[in-house]
A and B are shown apart, each in its own frame.
Chain A
Amino acid sequence: MDSFIVISLIKVVVVFAVLLTILAYLQWVERKVIAHIQVRPGPYRVGPHGLLQPLADVIKLITKEDLVPPHASKPLYLAAPFLAMTMALMSIAVIPFGPIIHVAGYQTAMQLADLNIGVLFVLAISSMGVYGIALAGWSSNNKYSLLGGLRSSAQMISYELPLSLAIAAPLLISNTLSLRELVEKQSGGFWHWNVLHGPFPQIVSFVVFLIAGFAETNRVPFDLPEAENELVAGFHTEYSSMKFASFFMAEYANMITVSCMATLLFLGGWVAPWPAEYGSRFVPVVIFALAAVAALYHGMNPARRRDQMSLPVFGILFFLIAALFLLPVVQEWLLPLFWFCAKTGAILFGFIWIRGTLPRFRYDQLMGFTWKFLFPVAVLNLLVTGLLVALVS
C-alpha cells in the first residue's frame, strides 16, 4: 500500500515538472514556428535561439504590477484564473504516456490514475473549465470582458457537443471507456489505429474532434473571444501579471490535453506504426542522428555569427540522445514515450501551423458552423459507425 503511495508521489512530481516545462517551452515553439511561417527569425537574442525567452517572460510576468480593477467582485476575480488553471491541469492525471513498465523491481503504469471512466473524466473536466472563463469575464466589471466571457463560454459549450459525439464513435469500435485499454486495443501496426481500422475508418471523427478541439481551447480560427483587435483582449482584459499568465498556461494545457486525447483515441497512443521486430525501434535513432548531422553541418558555416557555438553543441546533444535510444535498458519505456510524444507533438505543430495560417471566424459564422454543419456531421458519423459495428459483429 505505501509503495503505491510513494510511487504515485514520484510520478506526480515527475509529470508535474515535465508538464510545466513543456508549457513554458510550447510557447517558445509557437513563437518560433509562427515567426518562420511569417519569414522572420522570432526570438533569438535571449539565450541560444531564444531558448531562455520563456524564462525571461516568466520573470517579467512575476514582477509586473498586480492590479485589481475597482468595483470588481474580489473573490470571483481572484478565483477565476485559479479555477481555469486547476481544471486544465487535472485532465493530465488520466492520460497514459506508455505501457506498464518495470522500474527497480516495482511494476507501475506510465499514468497517474487509470480510471475505468477515463474518457468521461476528461469530458467532465473540460466542461468545468468553462467556469473559469465565464467568471473571469463577469467579475472584471468591464463590458468588454463580459462580452468576451459570454461569447467564449457560449462557444465552448456549443463545441462540446460535436466533441462528445466525435469521441463516441471510436468508443463504439473500442468498446471501453478506460484510456489505457483504448490504446491497448489499437496495438499492432498503424492499420489497427482507430483512424484507419474497423468497419468504418474514423477519419471524419478525427477531423471533427480536431476542429471541435480548436474551438474548445479558444485557438485560431476560433479565438474571437480573446482577439485583440475586436474585443480589447476579451475576457482577460483586466488581468495582469501572474493571473494573466495562468490563463495562458491554462490555454496551452488545454491544447496539450486535446492533442493527447486525439492521439489516444485515434492515432494509437504509444503504439509504434509498425511492430518493433521489423525495426521500428531504430526510427528515433535515425531521426536524432539526422538532426545531429544537420546541426553539425550548419555549425561548420553558420548563417549568423552567434550560432557558431550553439549549433555544434546541439549537434553533439542530438548524437547523445540518438545513442541513448540504442540502450536496451531504457528502450522499454523510452520508445513508447517517444511515439506518444511524436504523435502529440505533430498535432500540436498542426495547432500552431493553423494559427499562423488561417484568419479568424466572425462570431455568428463560428456558431452557425457548429450548429448547422459540425453537429449534424458528427451525428451522421456516429450513426454510420454504429450501423456498421452492429452489422459486422
Chain B
Amino acid sequence: MDVILFLIFAIIAVVGAINVVVQSHPISSAISLVGVMGSLAVLYLLLGAEFLAAAQVIVYAGAIMVLFVFVIMLLNAGAEVRKGQSSIALFLGGPLLVALLILLAWFVQQLFPGVMVYFGGFRGGSAQDVGRALFTTYLLPFEVTSILILIAILGAIVLARKEMD
C-alpha cells in the first residue's frame, strides 16, 4: 500500500515538474506546480509529517501559488517564444542527465541500506510536537522569521504602490 501510494504521487510530482519546465504558457506551469505541491503534501503525510503536509497546502499551494497566478493574470503573460535552442546540447545533455541521476540513485541506495519508510513509522510529526519544538528550541528563528515577513510585506507594498504625486 505504501509502495502504490508513493509511486502514484511521485509520478504525479515528476510529471508536474517536467510540465513546469516544458510548458510555454506560464499559467500551465503554475497549475502544474500546484499539482507538484499537492502530491508532495501527500508524500509528507506518508513520512509522518502531518502538520507540514497541512502547512504545505495552506501556505505553498493555497497562498504562494495563488500569488503567482494573480501576477500572471495581471500581467497578461503570454506564451513564451522559444528560439536559439541548440539540439546538440539536448542530444548530449539529456542522456548524460539520466545517466548521472541513475548513478546518484544507486549511490544513495548504497548509503541507506534497509531503511524503509512506512506510514506510521514516525509519530513525532504532529502539531503538538512541531509546536513544542518551535517555541522552545527554535524560538529565535521563529521570532526572526516574523520580522522577515514584516520586512517582506513592507518591501512588497513599497515596490508595488502607485506613485502618489
Q: Taking the complex as a whole, does A directly touch B, i.e. does some CB pair lie under 8 Å apart?
A: yes
* B69 pairs with A120, CB closer than 8 A: no
* B70 pairs with A134, CB closer than 8 A: yes
| Range for the number of chain A residues in contact with chain B | 20 to 34
What residues of B have a CB within 8 angstroms of the CB of A124 in the complex?
Answer: 54, 57-58, 62
* A146 pairs with B73, CB closer than 8 A: yes
Closest to B38 in A: A128
Scan A138-176; emit 1 where CB is below 8 A from any B CB, else 0: 100000001001100110010010000000000000000
Query: Taking the nearest CB of chain B, how far is it from the CB of A138, in angstroms?
Result: 5
What residues of B have a CB within 8 angstroms of the CB of A131 in the complex?
Answer: 34, 66, 69
| Range for the number of chain B residues in contact with chain A | 10 to 19
Cα–Cα distance between A58 and B87 once the two chains are bound (Å): 55
A117 contacts chain B at the CB level, 8 A cutoff: yes
Take A124-B58, A128-B57, A128-B62 as given contacts and tell me if A177 and B127 are in contact as well, using a CB distance cutoff of 8 Å. Answer: yes
Cα–Cα distance between A29 and B69 once the two chains are bound (Å): 36
What residues of A have a CB within 8 angstroms of the CB of B57 in the complex?
Answer: 124, 127-128
Query: Taking the nearest CB of chain B, how far is it from the CB of A49, in angstroms?
Result: 41
Residues 39 to 95 of chain B near chain A (Cβ within 8 Å): 50-51, 54-55, 57-58, 61-63, 66, 69-70, 73-74
What residues of A have a CB within 8 angstroms of the CB of B126 in the complex?
Answer: 116-117
Query: Taking the nearest CB of chain A, how far is it from the CB of B63, in angstroms?
Result: 7
A316 contacts chain B at the CB level, 8 A cutoff: no
**Selected contact of A130 from candidates B55, B66, B73, CB within 8 Å:** B66
* A116 pairs with B73, CB closer than 8 A: no
Cα–Cα distance between A134 and B63 once the two chains are bound (Å): 13
A283 contacts chain B at the CB level, 8 A cutoff: no
What residues of B have a CB within 8 angstroms of the CB of A120 in the complex?
Answer: 51, 54-55, 58, 127
Take A120-B51, A138-B27 as given contacts and tell me if A127 and B70 are in contact as well, using a CB distance cutoff of 8 Å. Answer: no
Take A116-B126, A134-B66 as given contacts and tell me if A121 and B54 are in contact as well, using a CB distance cutoff of 8 Å. Answer: yes
Closest to B76 in A: A146
By secondary structure, the B interface counts as: helix
Cα–Cα distance between A111 and B134 once the two chains are bound (Å): 31
Cα–Cα distance between A169 and B73 once the two chains are bound (Å): 35
Query: Taking the nearest CB of chain B, how far is it from the CB of A89, in angstroms?
Result: 17
What residues of A have a CB within 8 angstroms of the CB of B50 in the complex?
Answer: 116-117
**Selected contact of B74 from candidates A76, A121, A150, CB within 8 Å:** A150
A123 contacts chain B at the CB level, 8 A cutoff: yes
Closest to A120 in B: B54
What residues of B have a CB within 8 angstroms of the CB of A116 in the complex?
Answer: 50, 126
Residues 93 to 138 of chain A near chain B (Cβ within 8 Å): 116-117, 120-121, 123-124, 127-128, 130-131, 134-135, 137-138
By secondary structure, the A interface counts as: helix
Query: Taking the nearest CB of chain B, how far is it from the CB of A375, in angstroms?
Result: 12
Number of A-B contacts (CB under 8 A): 59
Cα–Cα distance between A120 and B54 once the two chains are bound (Å): 6
* A127 pairs with B54, CB closer than 8 A: no
What residues of B have a CB within 8 angstroms of the CB of A76 in the complex?
Answer: 27, 31
Cα–Cα distance between A368 and B63 once the two chains are bound (Å): 20
What residues of A have a CB within 8 angstroms of the CB of B61 in the complex?
Answer: 127-128
Cα–Cα distance between A123 and B58 once the two chains are bound (Å): 7
**Selected contact of B127 from candidates A117, A150, A153, CB within 8 Å:** A117
Cα–Cα distance between A123 and B51 once the two chains are bound (Å): 12
* B51 pairs with A117, CB closer than 8 A: yes
What residues of A have a CB within 8 angstroms of the CB of B34 in the complex?
Answer: 131
Cα–Cα distance between A73 and B31 once the two chains are bound (Å): 13
Cα–Cα distance between A150 and B69 once the two chains are bound (Å): 10
Closest to A139 in B: B27
**Selected contact of A150 from candidates B51, B54, B62, B73, CB within 8 Å:** B73
Cα–Cα distance between A154 and B73 once the two chains are bound (Å): 12
What residues of A have a CB within 8 angstroms of the CB of B62 in the complex?
Answer: 124, 127-128, 130
What residues of A have a CB within 8 angstroms of the CB of B127 in the complex?
Answer: 117, 120, 177
Query: Taking the nearest CB of chain B, how far is it from the CB of A81, in angstroms?
Result: 15
* B73 pairs with A127, CB closer than 8 A: no
Query: Taking the nearest CB of chain A, how far is it from the CB of B30, in angstroms?
Result: 10
What residues of A have a CB within 8 angstroms of the CB of B63 in the complex?
Answer: 127, 157, 160
Query: Taking the nearest CB of chain A, how far is it from the CB of B160, in angstroms?
Result: 13
Cα–Cα distance between A353 and B60 once the two chains are bound (Å): 36
Take A117-B50, A130-B66 as given contacts and tell me if A138 and B58 are in contact as well, using a CB distance cutoff of 8 Å. Answer: no
Cα–Cα distance between A146 and B74 once the two chains are bound (Å): 9
Q: List 29 A-B contacts (CB under 8 A).
A: A73-B27, A76-B31, A116-B50, A116-B126, A117-B54, A117-B127, A120-B51, A120-B55, A121-B54, A123-B54, A124-B57, A124-B62, A127-B58, A127-B62, A128-B57, A128-B61, A131-B66, A131-B69, A137-B73, A138-B73, A149-B73, A150-B70, A150-B74, A153-B66, A153-B69, A153-B70, A154-B70, A157-B66, A160-B63
Q: Return the 7 tightest CB-CB contacts between A and B, nearest first.
A: A127-B62, A120-B54, A124-B57, A124-B58, A138-B73, A117-B54, A117-B50
Told that A117-B54, A157-B66 touch, could you supply 11 new A-B pairs with CB distance under 8 A?
A116-B50, A116-B126, A117-B127, A120-B58, A128-B62, A131-B34, A134-B66, A137-B73, A138-B27, A138-B69, A154-B70
